[in-house]
Amino acid sequence: MVKGHSINSDTERFLVNKTELIEHIANNADMPKAAAARALEATIDAVKKTLKKGGTVSLVGFGTFAVGKRAARTGRNPRTGTAINIKAAKVPKFRPGKALKDALN
């Protein structure tokens, strides 16, 4: 388990869970935690639905969520070593925006 402090702290944090993110939204947007939780859930739901339809979600300065395609391929069963066929799949992808990249450097 990774130990750390809340995202409001000046110390380094390696993991922020959903509850801490909701608390951060509530504090910075001056809204009740219940409303912040609903807002976060609505945002996540909108991203999921858009990606499921094959669309993209672009948040200027933050990044873009999109759907990528992984081709069918042959893999190996780790227990037996026998070859197995892995189906093609749609996978979520995130491409960070310039402002997010700049904030990290």
Query: In this predicted model, what pLDDT tens digit does every residue of 26-48 receive, in sequence order?
Result: 999 999 999 999 999 999 999 99
**If you search the block for the tokens 């960070």, which residue do you land on?**
96
Cα separation, 93 vs 64, whole angstroms: 8
Any idea where the domains of the chain sit in the sequence? 1-53, 55-105
Query: Model-level pTM?
Result: 0.74
Pairing relationship of beta strands 83-86 and 73-76 according to DSSP bridges: antiparallel
Q: Which pLDDT does position 14 carry in this prediction? A: 72
At the top level of CATH, the class of 55-105 is few secondary structures
